């Protein structure tokens, strides 16, 4: 069964073409195809696997052994319902928020869809301080001797996927501590930030609590870079600046031309089927509304330069695979001190080329720190 699903996801001619001892990375898996395989196995077996399962059990043989152990059901317990079957509460496709947003994106009206989400987000509970926020979830992705450690800001984008930074962390040339801070509001019962000042303060204080006295390198992919820069500015303001800031294909609100932004929104919408089913994650409709709350806050935001070494790692291609012209790659606003170009587009630089992206950050840190 596992070899059959692998063949389907990767487009192999049949299960016999899939070696049982080849690692999934060697077979051609990236973060998105790994989640797709997880979802297909969930639907077939009824087992709720983690998004990172393919990398935790990196060969067909190891994954099969894990599935066999999970399928051993004690006497008297019911057989699990396949994850793809509807429940009494309905299926995600019944969510009017999801359908309206996806229709808007498909019709080229992503701005209208985002305005709907931003308006709905005003009805969510919000936080202004650590007490009303609760502590953001911080997950360690890798460990190592090299310092400083990296603190990655997960983009506030639906659906929440937890594989991109994991691949980035394992792609570093030398092991170092890498953690990821998850945005509040995307799990059941969590509030969203009332404003950017509350966001940066609560996340900044969480970073200090996690890291201790040693400054960290703040890393942010996509809109996660907005949060990384804002948190860095807050930390500078209280006299606890980070060691450095690394932005991974981050462009400020309003900087992208309309058609490029539409291509990004269409590509992001296709990732909704890859949504994590980990316990505690809010339904997709709720996550979309939380996303609208975050992105709406940043509509008019223009970051100011900070006195911290700052890198922009740029993907060389647009979403459609076309190389970006040189003038698009130029930086003119002074918010980045250094740049580096890596293979891939906005998504594939993290999923198919994580080693190149991680090496660009590693090499830069070796030069400037």
Question: What is the per-residue DSSP string for 332-345?
Answer: -SSS-SEEEEESS-
Residues of the chain above pLDDT 70, percent: 81
Torsion of CA 3, 172, 212, 236, to 10 degrees: -120
pLDDT tens-place string over residues 72-97: 644 444 444 444 443 333 334 568 88
Q: What is the 3-state secondary structure (H, E, C) of 131-162?
A: HHHCCCCEEEEECCCEEEEEEEECCCCCCCCC
Question: DSSP alpha helices (H): ranges in the chain?
Answer: 2-10, 24-27, 31-45, 53-56, 60-70, 96-106, 110-121, 130-133, 164-170, 196-211, 224-237, 258-269, 284-297, 326-329, 348-351, 354-368
Least confident of 235-244, 253-262, 310-319: 253-262
| pLDDT at site 32 | 63
Look at the block and give the residue holding tokens 């590693």: 362
Name the pLDDT band for 256 (thresholds 50, 70, 90): low
Going by pLDDT thresholds of 50, 70 and 90, the confidence category of residue 107 is confident
Contact at 8 Å (CB) between 235 and 204? Answer: yes
| CB-facing half-sphere around the CA of 140: CA atoms within 13 A | 9
Whole-number average pLDDT of the chain = 83
**Over 50: is that where the pLDDT of 270 sits?**
yes
What's the rounded mean pLDDT across residues 236-256? 91
Average pLDDT over residues 86-114: 72
Please name the residue that has the structure tokens 């709350």: 293
Q: How far, in Å, CA of 341 to CA of 356, rounded?
A: 9
The answer to whether 310 and 336 have CB atoms below 8 angstroms apart is yes
CA 24 to chain centre: 20
Give the C-alpha separation, 364 to 361, whole Å. Answer: 5
The residues near 289 (Cβ < 8 Å, ≥ 6 apart) are 97, 117, 120, 121, 124
pLDDT for position 298? 93
Which residue bears the tokens 């009805």?
123
- Enter the tokens of residue 172: 């570093």
Token code pair at residue 241: 């600046």
Write down the pLDDT at residue 84: 41
Q: Tell whether the model's pLDDT for residue 231 goes beyond 50.
A: yes
Structure tokens at 122: 């005003």
Distance CA 347, CA 357 (A): 11
Query: Tell me, what's the pLDDT at 78?
Result: 44
Task: Give the mean model confidence (pLDDT) for residues 209-221.
Answer: 94
Q: How far is CA 111 from CA 55, 65, 114, 216, 262, in A?
A: 36, 47, 5, 35, 9
Q: What pLDDT score was predicted for residue 221?
A: 95
Structure tokens at 89: 């509460």
pTM score over 0.85: no
Q: Which two tokens stand for residue 128?
A: 């202004």
pLDDT surpasses 90 at 7: no
Look at residue 63 and tell me whether its pLDDT is greater than 90: no
Higher pLDDT, 275 or 1: 1
> Which is nearest to 216 in space by CA: 365, 359, 339?
365
Cβ proximity of 175 and 142 under 8 Å: yes
């Amino acid at each position: 069964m596992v070899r059959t699903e692998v063949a389907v996801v990767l487009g192999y001619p049949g299960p016999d073409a899939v070696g049982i001892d080849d690692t999934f990375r060697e077979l051609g898996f990236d973060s998105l195809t790994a989640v797709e395989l997880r979802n297909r196995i969930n639907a077939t077996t009824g087992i709720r696997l983690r998004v990172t399962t393919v990398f935790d059990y990196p060969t067909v043989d190891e994954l099969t052994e894990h599935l066999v152990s999970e399928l051993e059901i004690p006497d008297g317990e019911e057989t699990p319902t396949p994850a793809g079957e509807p429940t009494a509460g309905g299926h995600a496709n019944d969510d009017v928020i999801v359908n309206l947003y996806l229709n808007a994106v498909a019709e080229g009206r992503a701005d209208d869809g985002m305005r709907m989400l931003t308006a709905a987000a005003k009805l969510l509970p919000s936080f202004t301080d650590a007490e009303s926020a609760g502590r953001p979830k911080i997950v360690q992705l890798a460990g190592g001797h090299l310092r400083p450690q990296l603190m990655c800001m997960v983009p506030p984008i639906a659906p929440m996927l937890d594989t991109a930074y994991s691949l980035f962390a394992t792609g570093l040339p030398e092991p170092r501590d890498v953690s990821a801070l998850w945005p509040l509001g995307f799990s059941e019962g969590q509030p969203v930030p009332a404003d950017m000042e509350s966001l940066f303060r609560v996340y900044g204080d969480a970073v200090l609590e996690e890291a201790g006295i040693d400054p960290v390198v703040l890393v942010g992919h996509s809109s996660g870079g907005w949060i990384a820069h804002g948190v860095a500015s807050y930390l500078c303001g209280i006299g606890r600046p980070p060691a450095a800031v690394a932005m991974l294909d981050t462009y400020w609100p309003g900087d992208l031309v309309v058609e490029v932004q539409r291509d990004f929104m269409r590509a992001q919408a296709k990732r909704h089927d890859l949504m994590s089913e980990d316990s505690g994650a809010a339904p997709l409709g709720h996550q979309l509304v939380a996303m609208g709350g975050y992105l709406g806050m940043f509509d008019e935001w223009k970051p100011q330069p900070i006195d911290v070494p700052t890198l922009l790692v740029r993907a060389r291609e647009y979403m459609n695979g076309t190389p970006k012209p040189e003038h698009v790659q130029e930086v003119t606003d002074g918010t980045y001190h250094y740049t580096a170009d890596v293979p891939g587009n906005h998504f594939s630089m993290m999923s198919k080329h994580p080693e190149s992206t991680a090496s660009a950050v590693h090499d830069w840190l070796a030069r400037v720190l």
